[in-house]
Amino acid sequence: MADLDGKIIMGQNIKRLLKENNMTAVKLAGVVGVSTATISDWSNGKTYPRIEKLELMANFFGVTKSDLVENQVRTETSESAEEPTLMAAHWGIDLSGLPSDERQRVIDRAKSYIEGLITDYEDHHA
């Protein structure tokens, strides 16, 4: 269980750093030398990067490796805390019956998919 929690925490940190640096997963994939699917797996807590890839990301973002793998306590605004509920309502999906970890996994996958669509569009229309 701790391993799964660690992957999820690392994924949240990667997503946060991408957002804070206004960067796409496509660009990070190029910097680190992996596919965008691999970045997606890391961001969604499915797999861990190898240590050399972790070091490349840490150096690129200007953070420590522990900043990538440890829980970084962040306070959410009420607007960002409501975002998953608003997204689900927009899509007409009732996630209320799912356990919170499953609900978050569905939301993360949907966000990742949409981010991929946006990135593909931007790459082809730049």
HEC-encoded secondary structure of the chain: CHHHHHHHHHHHHHHHHHHHCCCCHHHHHHHHCCCHHHHHHHHCCCCCCCHHHHHHHHHHHCCCHHHHHCCCCCCCCHHHHHHHHHHHHHHCCCCCCCCHHHHHHHHHHHHHHHHHHHHHHHHHCC
pLDDT of residue 80: 52
Residue 79 inside a domain? The answer is: no
- pTM for this predicted structure: 0.56
* Whether residue 93 is found in the same domain as residue 117: yes
* Whether residue 100 is found in the same domain as residue 52: no
* Whether residue 2 is found in the same domain as residue 55: yes
* Whether residue 56 is found in the same domain as residue 18: yes
Mean pLDDT, each 10-residue run in order, the chain (126 residues)? 71 90 90 92 90 91 88 53 59 70 76 76 72
> Number of structural domains, the chain?
2
Question: Residue 104 sits in which domain range?
Answer: 84-124
pLDDT of residue 76: 43
